[in-house]
Structure 1
Amino acid sequence: MKEISKVVIVGGGTAGWIAACHIAKKLNPNENDNISITLLDSPDIPTIGVGEGTVPVIKDTLKYFGIKESDFIGQCDVTFKHSIKFVNWCHNPSAVEEDFYHHLFDFPNIRPFDVTPHWLLNKELASKKYADLVSVQSYICEKALPPKRLSDKEFSGLFNYAYHLDAGKFTELLRQHAIHKLGVKNLKCNVTKANLNEEHFIESLELDNGERVKGDFFVDCSGFQSLLIEQSLGGKFIDKGSELLADTALAVQVDYDTPNATIKPYTTSTAQKYGWIWDIGLTTRRGIGYVYSSKYQTEESARSTLLNYIEDSKMLSQVRKLPMKVGYQQTPWINNCVAMGLSQGFVEPLEATGLLMFDVTARMFAEAFPRDVENIKLRQKRFNEDVTQMWESTTDFIKLHYYLSKRDDSAFWIDNRNENSLSNELKEKLQLWRAKIPSQFDFRSNLDLFRVSNYLYVLYGMNYYTHLSIQPPSGEASALSKLLEDIQKGVSYCSNNLRGHRETLEHIKRSVVHVGQK
C-alpha cells in the first residue's frame, strides 16, 4: 500500500488556508517528518473579499486551530454578529412601514414551555414578532449592543454569536498561523497543468516557471475555475440555477460618515426588486453588495440599485462585479484529489453559507484523510455522499427565503415563488409544516447545516402559518405571562451590563496590546 505523505493544496484565499489549517491540525507535520503539506497560491490573484459574514461554528474552528479570539478581533477588523436582519422580504415596497425579522444565532427558548402554538393562535400575541418571544437577542440587536460583557472569557458571552470580518486580513491571519504554528509550507506560483498517471490519479503539477511539484494527494482550492477537479479530472458540476435564480453580485466598500459611527451587530439583508443587498459593518467601513439575477436585470440597472442604496454615485468606479457559479461538484472527491471552497460549490451568500461550507467540509475531509491509497475508495464514497447532502439541504434553506416572500413587484420574485422551483424535499416539509410545528424529528440527516431552530426563525419570521387543530393547554397562561416578564428582565439586564459595540471591541484590542507590551 502506497502511503500518502505529501499533500499539495492549489489556491490560497480563505478556503485554501482554512483547508490547510484543518489538514495540518490533523496530520501534524511539525511532529511527523514524513508528512508534508504545501500550499501553492498565485501572487496574481487577490482575495475576493466578499465572505465577510460568519456563523457561530467559526468560534469552534478558531479555538480548534489555536487562534485566540482577541488576536482575531485585533487583526481582522472584526465586529460581532448576533443575527441576519431581513428587511422587506415579506411585503411589497408600497408598504407604509419597513418590514423585517431577525434570524438569530441564539437557539429559540422553547423548552420546556413552547410559545409557538400560542403565537400562532393568539391574535394579540401574534402582533409581536416571533423572535421577540423566544429570545432576548432580537432586542439586543436593535439596541446595537454586543453579545458579551467586558468580563466575559474568549469565545463566550450572553448570547450565541458569530463575527463580521475583513476577508483579506482573515486570510492573512490563517496563512501566518498555518505556516508558523502548524507547519504548512507556502509557494507563490501559478499552476498551468496537472499530470495524470494511467489510473487517472494526479502525479504532479506543472508551474509557469517550468518547475514541477509532485504530491500524493491534491486539494483543489482554485476557485470557480476548478482547475484540478473539473478541468483535469473531468468532474461534473451540478447547476442549481433553476432553484436559486440570482447569479451575479456587485460589491463595494463604504466608509462611515463619522469615526465613531454605530456598528450594527448583525448583517442586514434588504430585498430589492430583482434581488437583495447585504450590509455588513466592520470597525472602519461597511461592506455592501447587491445580489441579483442577470436574467431579470441589466448590469447598468443593478449598479443604479446599489448606488441608490448607498446614496453615493461617486462610488460607481469602486464597484466590483462578481459572477456567481451556483451549484456544486457531483463528486468533490475524485481519486487523489478533493475540491474545497468555490471549486467544490457555491450558493449565494444569503446566510453566510460560503465560509460555513468551506470550514465544515474541510474539517470533514481532514477527519476522513486516507493515510494510504487503498483507503481512498471507501472514504471518498462516504465523503461525496455527505457533502452532496449538505449542498442539497443548504440550497433548500436558501430557497425557502425566496419562496416564502410575499413580494410580487417583479418576475424575479414571482418566479422564485413558483412551486415547481422547489425540491421535492422542501416541498414535502412545507406541506408537513402547514399542519404541525417543525421539530427536530423532521430532519433526516445530522449533516444538515440548517435545522429546526433556523427554520423556526425564517418560517415564522416570514409569517408562514401553521394550522393547528389542537389548542395548547389553558393552564399554560401563567407560563406565558412569566415568559414575557422574563424577556423584559433579560432586556433590562443586558441594557445595564453590556457596553457599546464599538467600546467593547476597543476594550478587547487594548487588552491585546497591553499583554504584548507586558
Structure 2
Amino acid sequence: MTNSKISSILIVGGGSAGWLTAGIIAARHGQSVKISLLESSTLPTIGVGEGTWPTMKTTLQKMGISETEFFRYCDVSFKQGAKFCQWVTGKKDDFYYHPLTLPKDFLDINLAPFWLENPSDSFSNSVSFQEAICEKNLAPKTLLMPEYAAAANYAYHLDAGKLTEFLSQHCQQKLNVQHIIGTVDEVLVSEQGDINSVKTQDGQSYQADLFIDCTGMSSLLLGKALNTEFVDKSDVLFIDRAIATQVPYESEESPILPYTLSTAQSAGWIWDIGLTSRRGAGHVYSSRHISDDQALKQFSDYLGKPLKETAVKEIKIPCGHRKEFWKHNCVAVGMAAGFLEPLEASALVLVELSANYIRDQLPENKAIMPIIAKRFNQLNTHRWNSIVDFLKLHYVLSKRTDSQFWCDNRDPQTIPDSLQELLQLWQYQSPYMHDFLYKEEVFPAASYQYVLYGMGFDTQAAQAMSSQQRQRYTQSINENQQIKQKALNSLPDNRTLLNKIKTFGMKAI
C-alpha cells in the first residue's frame, strides 16, 4: 500500500446493499471523496428483503431522508417486532413475541430473574407493552409525533425494489454519488493482490482506491477475483431454499399487521409481511427434509389458494459467509459477504453496520488499510457467528417432534460450541448485558431473553435479590402496565395511521 489518502471509492453492484452503502458513506464523505456506484442494467436483484431493524431510522435520518417521502415511495409500513407461531409445540395457539422495545428499565435492571419466580403472563407481555399493541394491530406512534419519533420502538416493512430506486435517486441528487451503468466483464488484480480496476462489457475501465463488493451471491470481487474462501454454515442452519410471492389484500380495509408473522412448518417457516398496498409472503425450508413440491403445497395451503409456478420467485440460500470480508483494497457488503435465512431480518442491518464501519474508519492513509481490514474482519466474523447462534437458538428450543427437521435441529452435533456454552450458562443465570463482549451486538441480551423465555426455556437457580431490588422490580412491572394501558387507549389503528401518512404526511423534524 502506498502512503496516500483514499480519494476514490467504487461500489460494484446496486440493489439495497449497494445504494444503502453509498448513501451511508456519502452522507459524510461525499464532498471529499469521489464515490461511484457501478451496476448492471441487466442483472436482477433478489428483491425480497422486506424487513429492517430499528437502526434503519437513524441511517435514513443521517442521510437526510424525509420519513414521509420514504413511506410514500417504498410502500412502507411499521414493524414492531416478530410474532412466532407454532415454533414451540406446533399447536395452533402456540405463539410468542420478539418485540423491538426493550424490557422496561432494561439498562438499569434485569427483570428476567424476578419474572422467572412467578411467570403468570408471557415474558414479553410482562416486561414490555409492545406485545399488547401488536395484538390490537396498533401503530407505534400518532400522526402528531414528528418523523422518526414514536411511543414504541419500530423498524420498517418495505418494498425492496422500490427502496433501491428511492435510495438511488437520493444518493445521486443529494449526496453526490456518481452512477455508472455497466456489466463487469473482468477484474484486474495486481501481483500484490490489490484490485487495480474493473472492466465492463462495453470496454470501459474503472479504477479506485477502495472497492466495495455489493454484487450479491456472485461475490465477483471478493469471492471470485480475490478467491476468498466461503465458510459453509449449512451443518448448523438447514434452511437452503425460499419461495416468495406477493399477496393482495382482500379489501382496502384489511388489517395491516404491525409485526412480521413467522409461522413454523414441517421443515422451515413462512414469513408474512404487511406493506401498505399488499402482503409479501415466503416459505423458507430445508431441501434435505422436504421436496420442492411439498414446500409449494404447504405454502399454498397457508395462503389458502393454489400457486402457479410462475407466480413464485425461487431463491437458493447458500448458508454461510466469507472467511475474510475485507481483503487488500476490497471489502464485501451484503450478500457478497454472506447470506443466511431471513428469520430475524439480519441482512439489511448487517449492510448498515458494515457501511457504518467503513464510513467511520475510512483510512486516512492507504498505509493503515491492512490494520482497518484486520479489525473489520475480526468484528464481522464475530457478528456472523453470533447471528448463526441466535438463529439456531429458535430451532434448538423448539419442542416439536412431528418431523425430522425439528429433531435434527436439536442434535448436539449441529449446535455450535459457543451456543451450547451460552445455554449452559443460562440454565443458572438469565441473559444480561455482561454476557456479551461487543458494544454493538446485532442481537442484544434483551433479544435472547425474549426468545428464550418466549419458547419456555427454564433458568433454574433463583438469583439472590435484595428487598430494594424487589421493590424496583415491582415498580417497573407496575409502570409497564400503566404505559401499556395508556398506549392501548391512545395509539391509532395501524392501517388508519398509514393511510393518514400517505394523505397528510408526518410532522417534519
Q: Confirm or deny that 1:119 pairs with 2:115.
A: yes
Q: CA deviation at 1:473?
A: 5.6
The one-character-per-residue Cα deviations of 1:464-508 (angstroms, maximum 9, x if unpaired) are 000124565678777666655544433332232112111211222
How many angstroms apart in 1 are the aligned matches of 2:404 and 2:74? 40
Q: Give the alignment partner of residue 107 of structure 1, picking from 80, 91, 102.
A: 102
Q: Which residue of 2 aligns with 1:466?
A: 459
How many angstroms apart in 2 are the aligned matches of 1:36 and 1:116? 50
The one-letter code matched in structure 2 to 1:39 is L
Q: CA deviation at 1:347?
A: 1.5
Q: Confirm or deny that 1:317 pairs with 2:310.
A: yes
Q: CA deviation at 1:185?
A: 0.7
Q: Which residue of 1 aligns with 2:144?
A: 151
**3-state secondary structure, aligned to 1:351:** coil
The one-character-per-residue Cα deviations of 1:381-411 (angstroms, maximum 9, x if unpaired) are 1111111111111111111111111111111
Q: CA deviation at 1:129?
A: 0.8
Q: Which residue of 2 aligns with 1:511?
A: 504
Q: Give the alignment partner of residue 160 of structure 1, picking from 149, 153, 160.
A: 153
Q: Which residue of 1 aligns with 2:77?
A: 79
Q: CA deviation at 1:143?
A: 0.3
Q: Which residue of 2 aligns with 1:362?
A: 355
**How do residues 377-388 of structure 1 correspond to structure 2 at under 5 angstroms?**
377-388=370-381
How many angstroms apart in 1 are the aligned matches of 2:128 and 2:484? 10
How many angstroms apart in 2 are the aligned matches of 1:390 and 1:76? 28
Q: Confirm or deny that 1:298 pairs with 2:291.
A: yes
Check whether the contact 2:104–2:480 (CA below 8 A) recurs between aligned residues.
no
Q: Confirm or deny that 1:139 pairs with 2:132.
A: yes
**How do residues 170-319 of structure 1 correspond to structure 2 at under 5 angstroms?**
170-319=163-312
Q: CA deviation at 1:46?
A: 2.7
TM-score, normalising length: structure 1: 0.93
Check whether the contact 2:427–2:458 (CA below 8 A) recurs between aligned residues.
yes
The one-letter code matched in structure 1 to 2:193 is H
- CA gap of 1:215–1:118, structure 2 versus 1, over 3 A, is closer
Equivalenced residues, count: 505
Q: Confirm or deny that 1:169 pairs with 2:162.
A: yes
How many angstroms apart in 1 are the aligned matches of 2:465 and 2:47? 48
Q: Give the alignment partner of residue 437 of structure 1, picking from 424, 430, 433.
A: 430
- CA gap of 1:484–1:341, structure 2 versus 1, over 3 A, is closer
Check whether the contact 2:30–2:177 (CA below 8 A) recurs between aligned residues.
no
TM-score, normalising length: structure 2: 0.95
- CA gap of 1:38–1:244, structure 2 versus 1, over 3 A, is same
- CA gap of 1:159–1:286, structure 2 versus 1, over 3 A, is same
Greater Cα shift, 480-489 or 56-65: 480-489
- CA gap of 1:151–1:231, structure 2 versus 1, over 3 A, is same
**3-state secondary structure, aligned to 2:430:** coil
Query: Runs of 5+ in structure 1 lacking a partner?
Result: none
Check whether the contact 2:113–2:462 (CA below 8 A) recurs between aligned residues.
no
Q: CA RMSD in A?
A: 2.0
Q: CA deviation at 1:69?
A: 1.1
**3-state secondary structure, aligned to 1:46:** coil
**3-state secondary structure, aligned to 2:343:** helix
How many angstroms apart in 1 are the aligned matches of 2:439 and 2:109? 25
**3-state secondary structure, aligned to 2:61:** helix
Check whether the contact 1:389–1:447 (CA below 8 A) recurs between aligned residues.
no
Check whether the contact 2:99–2:131 (CA below 8 A) recurs between aligned residues.
yes
Q: Which residue of 2 aligns with 1:40?
A: 38
How many angstroms apart in 2 are the aligned matches of 1:197 and 1:475? 65
Q: CA deviation at 1:416?
A: 0.7
The one-character-per-residue Cα deviations of 1:406-451 (angstroms, maximum 9, x if unpaired) are 1111111111111222222211111011011112111122242112
Check whether the contact 2:146–2:506 (CA below 8 A) recurs between aligned residues.
no
How many angstroms apart in 1 are the aligned matches of 2:234 and 2:110? 37
Q: Give the alignment partner of residue 375 of structure 1, picking from 344, 353, 368.
A: 368
Q: Confirm or deny that 1:409 pairs with 2:402.
A: yes
**How do residues 15-26 of structure 1 correspond to structure 2 at under 5 angstroms?**
15-26=17-28
How many angstroms apart in 1 are the aligned matches of 2:402 and 2:341? 21
Q: Which residue of 1 aligns with 2:30?
A: 28
Q: CA deviation at 1:41?
A: 0.7
Q: CA deviation at 1:118?
A: 3.7
How many angstroms apart in 2 are the aligned matches of 1:446 and 1:479? 26
Check whether the contact 1:106–1:137 (CA below 8 A) recurs between aligned residues.
yes
- CA gap of 1:473–1:261, structure 2 versus 1, over 3 A, is same
- Give identity over the alignment, percent: 40
The one-letter code matched in structure 2 to 1:430 is L
Q: Which residue of 1 aligns with 2:61?
A: 63
Check whether the contact 1:434–1:466 (CA below 8 A) recurs between aligned residues.
yes
Check whether the contact 1:88–1:98 (CA below 8 A) recurs between aligned residues.
yes
Q: Which residue of 2 aligns with 1:500?
A: 493
**3-state secondary structure, aligned to 2:373:** helix
How many angstroms apart in 1 are the aligned matches of 2:308 and 2:77? 24
Q: Give the alignment partner of residue 439 of structure 2, picking from 419, 442, 446.
A: 446
**3-state secondary structure, aligned to 1:9:** strand
How many angstroms apart in 2 are the aligned matches of 1:235 and 1:484? 50
The one-character-per-residue Cα deviations of 1:108-160 (angstroms, maximum 9, x if unpaired) are 115566543343232xxx24111110011110000000000121111111111
How many angstroms apart in 2 are the aligned matches of 1:368 and 1:514? 34
How many angstroms apart in 2 are the aligned matches of 1:488 and 1:207? 60
Q: CA deviation at 1:247?
A: 0.7
**3-state secondary structure, aligned to 2:141:** coil
Greater Cα shift, 470-479 or 423-432: 470-479
How many angstroms apart in 1 are the aligned matches of 2:484 and 2:368? 54
- CA gap of 1:484–1:387, structure 2 versus 1, over 3 A, is closer
- CA gap of 1:492–1:214, structure 2 versus 1, over 3 A, is same
Query: Runs of 5+ in structure 2 lacking a partner?
Result: none
Check whether the contact 2:389–2:419 (CA below 8 A) recurs between aligned residues.
yes
Q: Confirm or deny that 1:14 pairs with 2:16.
A: yes
